Amino acid sequence: MRLLAHAKINLALAVGSLRPDGYHEVETVLQKLELHDRLELRPAGELTLYTDSAEVPQGPGNLAWKAAALLRERYRCRAGAEMRLHKSIPVAAGLGGGSADAAAALAGLNDLWDLNLDLETLVGLAAELGSDVPFFLVGPTALARGRGEILAPLPPAPEMGVVLVTPAFGVRAARAYARFDRLPAGARSDLSPLLRALADKDRYAVAGGLFNGLEAAVFDLYPEVGKLKEVLGGEAGVLGALMSGSGPTVFGLTADVERAGAAAAGLRARGLLARATRTLTAALNDR
């Protein structure tokens, strides 16, 4: 069995107050991308996980493994699986790669092990693994509230090209939020313009409605991320640029994937790690 675990970007991220459980209240618009990892599952007597990336663990420290272990424990499942994870999504980059892998593991093992769990149950399990994981079971576009686990489907974004620029370092989300708490409160963010743009399928208005309440905190910690956003925003064909999630990846939206490819090529010529992809306009569950 083969599943594609698609990356995400945050078209908007409004950060609220710190909750008693240590998380922040958030309101965020999440969008899946064509860029994906690939998870292959085969029946086996034991549970094993192999990955082609030296940046992610191959055993219990991997979120896909934790998803499998959660299913086995919760439903007293004695079956095993050989899991092979082929990574293409940059690690610790604000693109949700680990969460996407975990969601793919939940969905795939539910089928492989004949657990017959419905989507609502899988989403509940996903929320135990991480705030972003539930989104990857739905989509391609959704509004997330709470700590990110309360989801409402949105009209899919129009197809747009996406340029991703990832620095050669990661950002720990906990550190970004901790710095956010020490900065003066900014103006309250309004998602209404972006939600209207999505409903109208207006890619130019979508690009104009981008915002991320964590940018000031991450730019304070890592000024080079802010500079990358400026560089990307100045590229020909880029309609709007933003940092995704807690960073450090910044993305730019273009009218089509051809313009994204041209912008990415120009940035690579300047020594930056850039790639082109596109928004997903339909929920895909590739097997």
The pair phi, psi for residue 103, each rounded to 5°, is: -65, -40
> Does residue 8 carry a catalytic annotation?
yes
| Helix or strand holding residue 258 (H, E) | helix 257-269
The radius of gyration of the chain's CA atoms, rounded to the nearest angstrom, is 18
Q: How many other CB atoms are found less than 10 A from the CB of residue 273?
A: 15
Q: Of these residues, 37, 66, 87, 132, which one is catalytic?
A: 132
CA 35 – CA 275 distance, rounded (Å): 10
Cβ atoms of 217 and 183 within 8 Å: the answer is yes
DSSP letter at 134 equals G
Reading the block at residue 136, the tokens are: 């990857």
> Does residue 220 carry a catalytic annotation?
no
CA 277 – CA 33 distance, rounded (Å): 7
Residue 23 burial (C-beta neighbours within 10 Å; 0-12, 13-18, 19+):
middle
Residues facing residue 274 across a β-bridge: 165
Q: Of these residues, 8, 32, 66, 87, which one is catalytic?
A: 8
State the catalytic residues: 8, 132
